[in-house]
Chains A and B, each alone.
Chain A
Amino acid sequence: MSKAVIQRLSAQFGDRVLETRDFRGDEEAVVDAKDWVEVARFLRDDDATAMDHLVDLTAVDWPERGASGPRFDVLLSLRSTTKKHRVRVVTRVAEGASVPTLVEVYAGTNWAEREVWDMFGVRFEGHPDLRRILLYEAFEGHPLRKDYPIEQAQPLVAYRDVRGVTKLPPFGVDEGQPFARIDWRARLAGAHSQVSPALGMVEGQRRTLSDSEAAQALAEKIARTLGETADPAKSEE
């Protein structure tokens, strides 16, 4: 459906279109980050492509690429209202590197780029207002990266001290959902990746939360705190 767009793009940019893909009717073109804005502007303004409708901008993390390529894919999906074709343009960006912003070309990429920064930590050069958008400023890390564990907890805003009232300690650093099918930290360290209950525990696998040292320390701390404030068992006696 959008083969013509890929051909037009290849004719215009030649070798600068690094790779094209066609999977289940979705056409993709990979370009370098330095051509990113130029390609987007061309797709929008050229009469044969006329991609005037922004569809989406997002990213995918590929930490296992290692030396074979930069870590993040940034994907821009576009559509034409007149020609009714679609295309996806992809650029690759290494950790810590940045992609030029598209806000001048498509105004709607403003929030999308902020979200990619928020979730993946990919910077957009020249973005007018690159703040976190879904998470809060004090959030540490970028949660959609594969090496961000799903059970990771964040330091919450500190409790307000009230005299005479003892509160439970804030969440521990690894509290949260205790189980995922893939342990990415272990996988990136070279261990077997699947941890479905059907397969059982695998060597190199981090222990589940309930028997980790941090969890036990936390349980003791909670017990201590509760013991200090009141001992319900004693008072009932």
Chain B
Amino acid sequence: MEPIEELEQDALELPAEPMRLNMGPSHPSMHGTIRMVLDLDGETIVNVDVQPGYLHRGFEKSCERGTWTQVFPYTDRLNYVSPMLNNVGFALAVEKLIGVEVPERCQYYRVILGELARISDHLTCNGAAAMELGAFTPLLWLLKVREWVYDVLERETGARMTHSFGRIGGMAAPPTETLADDIREVIPQVHKVVAETESLLLHNRIFLDRMQGVGNLSKEHALGFGCTGPVLRSTGVDYDVRKDHPYMVYDRFDFEVPIGHDGDNYDRFMVRMEEIRQSCRIIEQALEQMPKDGPISIDDPRLTTPDKGKVYTTIEATIAHFKLVMEGHKVPKGQVYGYTEAGNGELGFFLVSDGGGTPYRVRVRPPCWFGLQAAREMLLGEMIADIIPTFGSVNMIGGECDR
């Protein structure tokens, strides 16, 4: 028998046809239900067809059947990890269409609640990313602190996840008296747990090997695919709606936009980690600057419902309440695109109004839809096991992606 060194390198390889493998629609590591049809050469991905749509619920069609306010509960269920950002995004888009701006105190309140939602979004995504690579402790730690963030949101809005707290022209209720104290209690915990998690993961050989240099995306591809948020920033583009097109009071805060270099899983992970810290900074500044009192909603019977006390005692308030509930907001004719920075990137609402009390068309620009589309580019040429961290770092949220 000839010595093994003398054999050609290829002769040791088993002859293999490309294999087609179905991953999903229901796979334990998939966030939500999604199907991937893989063409494999050994373990290398030659082609992948990502098929979303298993959570399609007809969001856009459903919006066309009620009033503008009745859309808020649907938006909670888009990115259900950070529903407050969707509430605020939709409210801002409708307010842009009407041409009004909410009182300053409400803007600060929206910023604070929105940044809390962003923290919970990133905590979940990064916790899941670590868990899928076998590190279970970070998930438990990060979800523990996420629960504390949810506790604050629950005290403010009455619900942990599906808040339905946004309103056209304001918020459903003014901030509670303990808002600042509650948040100042949670923020140090967030910092502590994020630092602990990083100390566990960032020196871990397995974690680094599976994150660094895996799932690369170039800047040009990311822009052409319409990626935004952490996926785009990890490639080195410093695009953040809060900085580039400041809305509400974001131009008054001092915060950084973290960017990566390679657009790999590690960069996406680190961008999210840093964004948690920056969100904490924004919240602290917003708590300082927020007016102590003042109206939380626009005082206009055409936009916001009057106080319940007045509705029950005066005829004017009863009429205003009735008209808003039964006929809806009379949003002027026109079409606008309102966009905000949500957990996954630019969350846009393209709204068309025909002047009636019902939305004519509500188009959601889901940020993770475009990120997921770019996942094919990230996965080609990688190994089959790399799908899990890559797909996780795109942070596809079924409710938002499939609508």
Which A residues are closer than 8 A to B by beta carbons? Answer: 23-26, 52-56, 58, 60-61, 75, 77, 81, 84, 86, 88, 106-108, 110-112, 119, 132-136, 143-144, 148, 150, 177, 179-182, 193-194, 196-198
B350 near A150 with CB under 8 A, answer: no
CB nearest neighbor in A for B333: A23
Of the stretches B83-91, B251-259, B272-280, B363-371, the one at the interface is: B363-371
Contact partners of A88 in chain B: CB under 8 A: 337
Q: Mark B93-124, 1 if CB is under 8 A from A, else 0.
A: 00011010000000000000000000000000
Contact of B224 among A84, A107, A144, A150 (CB under 8 A): A107
CB nearest neighbor in A for B322: A198
Contact partners of A135 in chain B: CB under 8 A: 53, 56
Docked Cα-Cα span, A107 to B60, in Å, equals 24
Docked Cα-Cα span, A137 to B374, in Å, equals 23
Contact partners of A23 in chain B: CB under 8 A: 334-336
Contact of B221 among A86, A107, A143 (CB under 8 A): A107
B226 near A75 with CB under 8 A, answer: no
Contact partners of A134 in chain B: CB under 8 A: 52-53, 56, 402-403
B171 on the A face (CB < 8 A)? no
B356 on the A face (CB < 8 A)? yes
Docked Cα-Cα span, A24 to B92, in Å, equals 13
A108 near B225 with CB under 8 A, answer: yes
B65 near A24 with CB under 8 A, answer: no
B369 near A111 with CB under 8 A, answer: yes
Contact partners of B223 in chain A: CB under 8 A: 52-54, 81
B58 on the A face (CB < 8 A)? yes
User: Which label, helix, strand, loop or mixed, suits the secondary structure of the A interface?
Assistant: loop
Contact partners of B66 in chain A: CB under 8 A: 180-181
Q: Mark B355-395, 1 if CB is under 8 A from A, else 0.
A: 01110110101000110011000000000000000000000
Take A55-B346, A106-B226, A177-B65 as given contacts and tell me if A24 and B56 are in contact as well, using a CB distance cutoff of 8 Å.
Answer: no
CB nearest neighbor in A for B373: A111
A108 near B226 with CB under 8 A, answer: yes
CB nearest neighbor in B for A133: B53
Contact partners of B62 in chain A: CB under 8 A: 150, 177
A143 near B61 with CB under 8 A, answer: yes
B373 near A58 with CB under 8 A, answer: no
B352 on the A face (CB < 8 A)? yes
CB nearest neighbor in B for A151: B65
Question: How many residues does chain B have at the interface if contact means C-beta atoms less than 8 Å apart?
Answer: 51
User: Which label, helix, strand, loop or mixed, suits the secondary structure of the B interface?
Assistant: mixed
Docked Cα-Cα span, A75 to B352, in Å, equals 12
Contact partners of B403 in chain A: CB under 8 A: 134
B5 on the A face (CB < 8 A)? no
B327 near A198 with CB under 8 A, answer: yes
Docked Cα-Cα span, A144 to B220, in Å, equals 32
Contact of B326 among A111, A180, A182, A196 (CB under 8 A): A196
Contact of A84 among B60, B244, B357, B360 (CB under 8 A): B244
B72 on the A face (CB < 8 A)? no
Docked Cα-Cα span, A182 to B53, in Å, equals 27
Contact partners of B373 in chain A: CB under 8 A: 108, 110-111
Contact partners of B322 in chain A: CB under 8 A: 198
Contact partners of A54 in chain B: CB under 8 A: 223-226, 370
B365 near A180 with CB under 8 A, answer: no
Q: How far is the CB of B33 from chain A (nearest CB, A)?
A: 13
B348 on the A face (CB < 8 A)? yes
20 A-B contacts (beta carbon < 8 Å) = A24-B96, A24-B336, A53-B223, A54-B226, A55-B346, A56-B365, A86-B337, A88-B337, A108-B224, A108-B227, A111-B370, A112-B226, A119-B60, A144-B361, A150-B62, A177-B62, A180-B64, A181-B65, A181-B66, A182-B64
B67 on the A face (CB < 8 A)? yes
Docked Cα-Cα span, A194 to B67, in Å, equals 12
Contact partners of B99 in chain A: CB under 8 A: 24
Docked Cα-Cα span, A60 to B359, in Å, equals 12
Q: How far is the CB of A59 from chain B (nearest CB, A)?
A: 9
CB nearest neighbor in A for B323: A198
Take A111-B373, A196-B327 as given contacts and tell me if A24 and B334 are in contact as well, using a CB distance cutoff of 8 Å.
Answer: yes
CB nearest neighbor in A for B238: A81
Take A81-B223, A135-B56 as given contacts and tell me if A197 and B326 are in contact as well, using a CB distance cutoff of 8 Å.
Answer: yes
Q: How far is the CB of B333 from chain A (nearest CB, A)?
A: 9
CB nearest neighbor in B for A56: B365
B334 near A150 with CB under 8 A, answer: no
Contact partners of A81 in chain B: CB under 8 A: 223, 237, 239
Docked Cα-Cα span, A81 to B245, in Å, equals 11
Take A53-B223, A134-B53 as given contacts and tell me if A198 and B326 are in contact as well, using a CB distance cutoff of 8 Å.
Answer: yes
Take A84-B245, A198-B326 as given contacts and tell me if A181 and B225 are in contact as well, using a CB distance cutoff of 8 Å.
Answer: no
Q: How far is the CB of A112 from chain B (nearest CB, A)?
A: 8
Take A56-B348, A81-B237 as given contacts and tell me if A107 and B61 are in contact as well, using a CB distance cutoff of 8 Å.
Answer: no
Take A108-B224, A181-B357, A182-B65 as given contacts and tell me if A75 and B326 are in contact as well, using a CB distance cutoff of 8 Å.
Answer: no
Docked Cα-Cα span, A112 to B225, in Å, equals 10
CB nearest neighbor in B for A143: B61
B350 near A24 with CB under 8 A, answer: no
